[in-house]
Amino acid sequence: MYIIKQLRRKKNISQSKLGKEIGVSLRTIQLYERKNANIPIKNLTKIANYFDMTIAELYLQEVNDMGESYTKEQPFTKHGSVFYPLDYGKYLVMAPLVMVEWHKKYIESVEKHQGRVPFQSAFIIDFLTKEPHRIFEVSGDSINDESLDAIPNKAFVLGLGLKKESFTKGDEFLWNKSYILVCKDRIICKQLTGFSKEKGTLICHNLNTSPEFQDFELPLEDVLQIFKIVKKQL
């Protein structure tokens, strides 16, 4: 992100010092200051805090400085997320963030029909949908086969909430895609390949072919929420 270099220069600090402040190497800061840098959300949060900014403000300044200013349309809130309209029909979405350390508390909150979390992070999206947005930190490498579709451990994914009933109707467009499944006892990332009407189970598939990752069937009644993954950040 070019804006990191500009903020660092305004504050008159070196790349080495910034790296030391957020706990990364000089080389990492050099990579972070490039256009379209892939910065982990935790480190992006540290950088934003260091410059007394929010992640949304970082993104918006980055967009402005690249000549793609956000429009005069006012930001709006929907399903607990804040949307900042950008040019060319894009939006910066600040959505609730469920980190691995918060998985258990999030499940408890969902069971109480709240689903609240104290954290937020950002993605840039190309279009609006009516479904709620949530960002999850992935735990485990079951969907990591090192392909373009891989979602490795500690990746952050943007999900769109779908109704559970949708998966009982045999819609072919739902299958062979990656999802976040909020279950009664855990939050998992799996590909879904089908639904067994006889058993009432979702068929969960792992991309990782290691013996420890076996495909299985998950009772739909044990699933509290399902989010279709639409974007990821490594």
What is the structure's pLDDT at 193? 96
Question: Within this chain, do residues 109 and 134 fall inside the same structural domain, yes or no?
Answer: yes
**pTM tops 0.75:** yes
Q: Which of 45, 69, 93 is the last residue of a domain?
A: 69
One domain, residues 108 and 152: yes
Amino acid 93 reads: V
Q: What is the CATH number of the domain that holds 19?
A: 1.10.260.40
Please report how the helices 2-10 and 15-22 are oriented relative to each other, as an axis angle in degrees rounded to 10: 100
Contact between residue 2 and residue 30 where contact means Cβ atoms under 8 Å apart: no
* 156 has a pLDDT exceeding 70: yes
**pLDDT > 70: what percent of the chain?**
96
| For residue 155, pLDDT beyond 80 | yes
Residue 143 pLDDT: 96
- Which is more confidently placed, 13 or 87? 13
Q: What is the pLDDT of residue 101?
A: 93
Is the pLDDT at 133 greater than 80, yes or no? yes
- Report the C-alpha gap between 222 and 215 in whole angstroms: 17
The answer on 54 and 9 residing in a single domain is: yes
pLDDT level of residue 69 (50, 70, 90 thresholds):
very low
Domain boundary among 35, 69, 103: 69
Q: What is the average pLDDT across 178-201?
A: 97
Residue numbers of the domain that contains 209: 70-233
Segment 71-92 mean pLDDT: 83
Same domain, residue pair 44 and 140: no
Instruction: Reply yes or no on whether the pLDDT at 229 is more than 80.
Output: yes
The answer on pLDDT for 163 being more than 60 is: yes
Asked if pLDDT for residue 71 goes beyond 60, the answer is no
Same domain, 17 and 102: no
Count of the separate structural domains present in the chain: 2
What pLDDT is recorded for position 57?
80
Mean predicted lDDT score pLDDT of the chain:
90
Q: Are residues 91 and 55 in the same domain?
A: no
Beta strand pairing call for 156-162 and 133-137: antiparallel
CATH code of 83's domain = 2.10.109.10
Q: What is the mean pLDDT of residues 110-137?
A: 90
Token reading at 204? 């969960």
Place of tokens 């989010």: 227
13 and 52 inside one domain: yes
Provide the pLDDT confidence category of residue 68 given band limits of 50, 70 and 90. Answer: very low
If asked whether residues 53 and 126 sit together in one domain, one would say no
**Statement to judge: residues 84 and 64 lie in one domain:** no
Residue 162 has pLDDT above 60, yes or no: yes
